[in-house]
Amino acid sequence: MTAPIEVTGSDAEAQPEAVLAGIDRKAIQGRSLWQIAWLRLKRDKVALIGGGIVVFLILVAIFGPFLVQDPNVFHQNLNDPTFNRPKYGFWHSGISGDHWLGVEPSNGRDMLARIVHGARVSLLVAFCATLLSVVIGVVLGVVAGYFGGWVDTIISRAMDVFLAFPLLLFAIALVGVLADASVFGLSGNGLRIWVLMFVIGFFNWPYIGRIIRGQTLSLREREFVDAARSMGAGSFYILFRELLPNLVAPILVYSTLLIPTNILFEAALSFLGVGVIPPKPSWGGMLSQAVSTYSVAPMFMVIPGLAIFITVLAFNLFGDGLRDALDPRAK
C-alpha cells in the first residue's frame, strides 16, 4: 500500500526541488500504513481507553482466577432467608470488604470471583471463535475473489445459505445435541466450551468472508499482482504472499469488531441455558439466574450485565478507532 509522503518544515515546502534531490533528509519522511495508523490511534483518546480496557480484561481473564476467592464456596451465612437475598450492602448486594462485588442471593458465592472466572470463559470462547471465523472467512474470501468464476459462485452461494440460517436457533440446537454426548474423551463444560467455540466460529465466517472477497476483487486487478504473475508467480504465491499482506488491515479491524459480537453470542447461549452450565460461572448464566431474583436483589442482575456491557463496549470502541485509523480515505 502506498503511504502519503508527509513534508514537514517550511524550508521543505518552499524548496520542492531540494526535497526531491534528497538534500534535507530529515524534513521528508515516508510513513508506512502502520506508522500512520499508530499516529492516528494515539490521537484517538476514546479508542485508546477502549484498548486499555481490552488489555486489562485480557490480563484479568488470564491471571484473575489465580487472585480471587474460590468461586464455588457458599457463604450462606450472608443470606437473608426471608427474602432469599444478601443481608448487607446497598440494594441487598452483599458488597463488603470481603466481597467487593457482593455475593449472589441464596448461595452467597463471591460475585467478584464468579465475574473474573466468567471473563476467562467469555474471552476464551470469543477469541477462539473469532479466530476460526477469520481463518475460514479469509481463506474462502480470498479464494473466491481471486479465482472468480464457478469457484466464486459456489463460495458466494454457500455464504448466502449460511446467512439464511436462523443462527441462534441453530446454535442452540447444535449445542443441545452435542453437549450431552461425550466426544474425544471430553464431556460436561469442557466439551461445551469447545462446542461453543466451534459453533459460533463456524457460522460467523460469511460476514468477514464477504468483506475479504470484495477487497480481493479490487486488489487482484492491481499492477503488483500483474507484476508478480508476469514474473512467474503461481496462484498460491500471489494469494498468500501478495494479496494477503494487503488485507491485514481489514482483517484486523473486522476481527476486533467480531470479538464483541461473539462475546454477546456466548453470553446469549449461556443465558438460554445451552452454553456453559452451572456451577461453572458465566456472565450469561448469572443473568439467567437473575431473572428470578431481580426484584429482591437487583445488583445480582446489574453486575454481570455491566461486565458484558463494559467488555463489549471496550472492544467496539477500540475496533471503531482501529477502523478509522487504518482507513486510507480518512484524514
Partner 1 sequence: MGPFNVLAYIIRRLIGAVLMLLLVSLVTFGIFFWMPKLAGQTTDQIAASYVGKAPTAEAIAATKERLHLDQPVVLQYGHYLKGIVAGQDFKAGPEVDHCPAPCLGYSFRTSQPVLPQLIDRAPATLSLAAGAALLWLVSGVTIGVLSALRRGSFLDRAAMVIALGGVSLPIYFTGLLSLAIFSYNLKIFPGGGSYRPFSEDPLHWFESLVLPWVTLAFLYAAMYARLTRAGMLETLGEDYIRTARAKGLPEKTVITKHALRSSLTPILTVFGLDLGLLLGGAVLTENTFSIPGLGQLAIAAINGGDLPVVLGVTLLAATFVVLLNLVVDVLYAAIDPRVRLG
CA 263 to each of CA 96, 160, 195, 201, 214: distance values in angstroms, whole numbers, following the listed order: 29, 24, 15, 11, 26
CA–CA separation, 84 vs 9, rounded Å?
Answer: 70
Q: Which of 186, 272, 277, 327 binds partner 1 (CB under 8 A)?
A: 272
CA–CA separation, 239 vs 257, rounded Å?
Answer: 24
What minimum distance in Å lies between the beta carbon of 291 and partner 1?
A: 7
Segment near partner 1 (CB under 8 A); pick from 34-42, 55-63, 130-138, 170-178 = 170-178
Name the phi and psi angles at 4, rounded to 5: -65, 145
**Quick check: 57 binds partner 1 (CB under 8 A)?**
no
Which three cell numbers mark 257?
Answer: 469488531
Q: Which of 17, 161, 185, 223 binds partner 1 (CB under 8 A)?
A: 161
**Quick check: 177 binds partner 1 (CB under 8 A)?**
yes
Which strand (E) or helix (H) includes residue 94?
Answer: none
Which three cell numbers mark 313?
Answer: 463496549
**Quick check: 305 binds partner 1 (CB under 8 A)?**
yes
**Quick check: 179 binds partner 1 (CB under 8 A)?**
no
What minimum distance in Å lies between the beta carbon of 47 and partner 1?
A: 12
CA–CA separation, 331 vs 327, rounded Å?
Answer: 9
What minimum distance in Å lies between the beta carbon of 23 and partner 1?
A: 38
Q: Which of 128, 312, 322, 326 binds partner 1 (CB under 8 A)?
A: 312
**Quick check: 149 binds partner 1 (CB under 8 A)?**
no
Number of residues that bind partner 1 (CB under 8 A): 45
Q: Please report, in angstroms and rounded to a whole number, the separation of the first and last CA atoms in the chain.
A: 16
Segment near partner 1 (CB under 8 A); pick from 2-10, 133-141, 227-235, 261-269 = 261-269
What pairs with residue 86 in β-bridges? Answer: 79
C-beta of 70 vs 160, nearer to partner 1: 160
Q: What is the DSSP letter of 241?
A: I
Which three cell numbers mark 238?
Answer: 500471489
C-beta of 34 vs 162, nearer to partner 1: 162
CB 57 within 8 A of CB 314: yes
Please count the other Cβ atoms lying within 10 Å of the Cβ belonging to residue 119.
24
Peptide bond into 4 cis (omega under 30): no
**Quick check: 320 binds partner 1 (CB under 8 A)?**
yes
Q: Which of 81, 73, 212 is nearest to 136 (CA)?
A: 212
- The binding track of 108-147 with respect to partner 1, each residue x by CB under 8 A or -, is ----------------------------------------
**Quick check: 167 binds partner 1 (CB under 8 A)?**
yes
Binding footprint of partner 1 on the chain (CB under 8 A): 160-161, 163-170, 172-174, 176-178, 181-183, 260, 264, 267-268, 271-274, 284, 287-288, 290-291, 294-295, 298, 301-302, 305, 308-309, 312-313, 316-317, 320
